[in-house]
Amino acid sequence: MPTDVTVAHDPALVAAALRKGLRSLAKAVVVITCRHGGQRHAMTATAVSELSMDPPSMLICVNKTASLFEPLSQGADFCINILAAHQGGISTLCAGREKGEARFAVGDWRQSALGHAYLADAQASFFCRNVANMAYGTHGVFIGEVLEVLDTAPINPLVYMDGRYGSFAVAPG
Ligand SMILES: Cc1cc2nc3c(=O)[nH]c(=O)nc-3n(C[C@H](O)[C@H](O)[C@H](O)COP(=O)(O)O)c2cc1C
């Protein structure tokens, strides 16, 4: 039985209900990186999705207030690094007060031949060309055409749900 039913058309009430409902949407955690004007940027994100296999592409949603937004708006290519379960500290750092280069202080960060910063022991890294974007509400939606992929095993990603970090467990039965 639903505990709360929101039928209001007040956008603020619906947004609050949406925020509450999304607490049960388990998401893999990524760090998106880009390079712009000689500086590296990194940001923790969960609003990330596969988009198409033809062409291979991904979609990311970045708040207009985030330091990554301006470089991406200006067309900077980006890399999506899926974090492993033990990399919660990297997620916290890349969502925290430190900005720019300071976010690369923790983790085995490398530079790809394409110039992207990537995390060598991430679950996977998707190297993307920034091919399209649109603004919607508080966010920018950026589409990346995937040029190259690196991945590691075993698969044990960092998961974010209900405001907490965890890891995946196979359901019983
Ligand atoms: C688990 C988690 C997921 C997040 N997902 C997103 C996201 O998908 N998009 C976004 O714009 N910010 C997201 N954030 C917030 C940014 O990581 C954070 O606000 C970051 O500091 C960006 O702003 P700044 O680079 O200006 O500091 C997330 C934060 C956390 C902890």
Chain segment 78-136, per-residue pLDDT in tens: 999 999 999 999 999 999 999 999 999 999 999 998 888 999 999 999 999 999 999 99
Q: Is 161 in the pocket of ligand 1 (CB under 6 A)?
A: no
What's the pTM? 0.95
In whole angstroms, how far apart are CA 22 and each of 26, 32, 128, 130?
8, 21, 27, 28
The C-alpha atoms of residue 72 and residue 134 are separated, in whole angstroms, by: 11
pLDDT of residue 9: 79
State whether residue 108 is helix, strand or coil.
coil
Which of 22, 27, 44, 81 has most ligand 1 atoms within 8 Å of CB, for mutation?
Answer: 44
Average pLDDT, the chain: 95
Do the Cβ atoms of 168 and 28 come closer than 8 Å?
Answer: no
The C-alpha atoms of residue 95 and residue 108 are separated, in whole angstroms, by: 18
pLDDT of 69 strictly over 80: yes
Q: How confident is the model at residue 48 (pLDDT cuts 50, 70, 90)?
A: very high
- Six-digit token string for 147: 């040029």
**Which DSSP string corresponds to 18-85?**
HHHHGGG--EE-EEEEEEETTEEEEEEE--EEEEEETTEEEEEEEETTSTTHHHHHTT--EEEEEPBT
Q: Topology of domain 28-161, per CATH? A: Pnp Oxidase; Chain A (2.30.110)
62: left (phi over 0), alpha (psi -120 to 50) or beta: beta
**Number of helices (H), then strands (E), in the chain:** 3, 12
Q: How confident is the model at residue 74 (pLDDT cuts 50, 70, 90)?
A: very high
Cis peptide before 55 (omega within 30 of 0): yes
Q: Is 146 in the pocket of ligand 1 (CB under 6 A)?
A: no
Distance 45 CA to ligand 1 centre (A): 5
Residues contacting residue 38 through CB under 8 Å, at least 6 positions apart:
none
Q: Give the end-to-end CA distance of the chain in Å, rounded to a whole number.
A: 23
pLDDT of residue 138: 97
Q: Is 51 in the pocket of ligand 1 (CB under 6 A)?
A: no
For the CA of 165, the nearest atom of ligand 1: 1
Q: Is 85 in the pocket of ligand 1 (CB under 6 A)?
A: no
Q: Is 87 in the pocket of ligand 1 (CB under 6 A)?
A: no
Q: Is 67 in the pocket of ligand 1 (CB under 6 A)?
A: yes
